[in-house]
Structure 1
Amino acid sequence: MIRVATRADLPRISEIRGAVRENVLSNPAKITDTVAYLIDRDGFWVFETNGHIHGFSSADPRNGSIFALFMDPASEGRGIARGLLAAACEHLAAAGHSRAWLSTDPGTRADRFYRRQGWTETGRTPDGEVRFEKALD
């Protein structure tokens, strides 16, 4: 089940974020304010079954970005990430955005995932990440 995240979910969200094999966060303190902002404004979702969170997504309506999409490695391959991404995109569309954007490291599983979901590479960020965009329906 996908539901809006709350601050009570932050420990599990942090655990999942720290467990990734790619796109390792070098400075977790760097994103704390944005995470709190988005959670407090219903811009963060978790996929939960039987009280266990398997993954999360987040969208920032201020700039039309997908801020985060991460899965517990043990829960990958079940289609959960597609549902979480759809929830984030719906939030951006409801906020008035006609396109969403995100960035990720090139050559990663995330890079391949977004391409399979129909996202289009539109360039590179100053730090070398691939920038993707997708029209919102």
Structure 2
Amino acid sequence: MNLREAIVGDIKQIQRVRNSVKENMLSDPNLVSDQDCEEFITKRGKGWVYQIEDQIVGFSIIGLQENNVWALFVHPDFDRQGIGKQLHDVMLNWYFSKTVEHVWLGTAPNTRAETFYRKLGWTEIGTHGKGEVKFQMTAENWKILKSDQQ
């Protein structure tokens, strides 16, 4: 199976994927530390990785404390293969098995990520941070979207 829960030993490869993207790039890679990743996947929420052979090519991390998607990234060499959708779905299935609180995320406007979240049924609710589009998913909407997929 290519999709599995993230472990602390995955963090170096998670960081490689995060820093490889062409959109939603970090202005400073040091803004997201290995310790931040570890805290999110072990204490504040959970993460998943998509692995091909020994290489992590995508990951997602969601937080229960802040009720937000902390990260969902796929290495550009593996774009448009359905990896992001699989990471997205496993993440939201887990999240809504733990809580009925809505979940939110922010992403840069006019990006493929913005289109991705719209296509997957996220609702725009405003802006966040430095002009990011803020999206929300409710438990009820996720339940409806999942049933529509079946």
* CA distance, structure 2, for counterparts of residue 28 and residue 59 of structure 1: 19
The residue aligned with 2:24 is: 23
Distance 1:79 1:44, change over 3 A: same
* CA distance, structure 1, for counterparts of residue 31 and residue 21 of structure 2: 17
Q: Compare 100-109 and 2-11 and name the one that shifted more.
A: 2-11
Q: 1:46 aligns with which of 46, 49, 54?
A: 49
Other structure's SS at 1:43 match: strand
Is residue 2:56 matched to residue 1:88? no
Deviation at 1:112, TM superposition (A): 0.6
Deviation at 1:14, TM superposition (A): 1.0
Q: CA RMSD in A?
A: 1.5
C-alpha contact 2:18 2:73 (8 A) present in aligned 1: yes
What is the identity, as a one-letter code, of the residue corresponding to 1:71? V
TM-score by length of 1: 0.91
Q: Deviations over 1:10-41 (max 9, x none)?
A: 12111111111111112333322431112224
* CA distance, structure 2, for counterparts of residue 124 and residue 5 of structure 1: 29
1:1-137 maps to which residues of 2 (within 5 A)? Answer: 1-32=2-33, 33-41=35-43, 43-136=46-139, 137=143
* CA distance, structure 1, for counterparts of residue 85 and residue 77 of structure 2: 16
TM-score by length of 2: 0.84
Of all paired residues, the percent bearing the same amino acid is 32
C-alpha contact 2:57 2:78 (8 A) present in aligned 1: yes
Structure 2: which 5+ residue stretches go unaligned?
A: 144-150
Structure 1: which 5+ residue stretches go unaligned?
A: none
Answer 1 or 2: which has greater helix percent. Answer: 2
Other structure's SS at 1:47 match: strand
C-alpha contact 1:64 1:97 (8 A) present in aligned 2: no
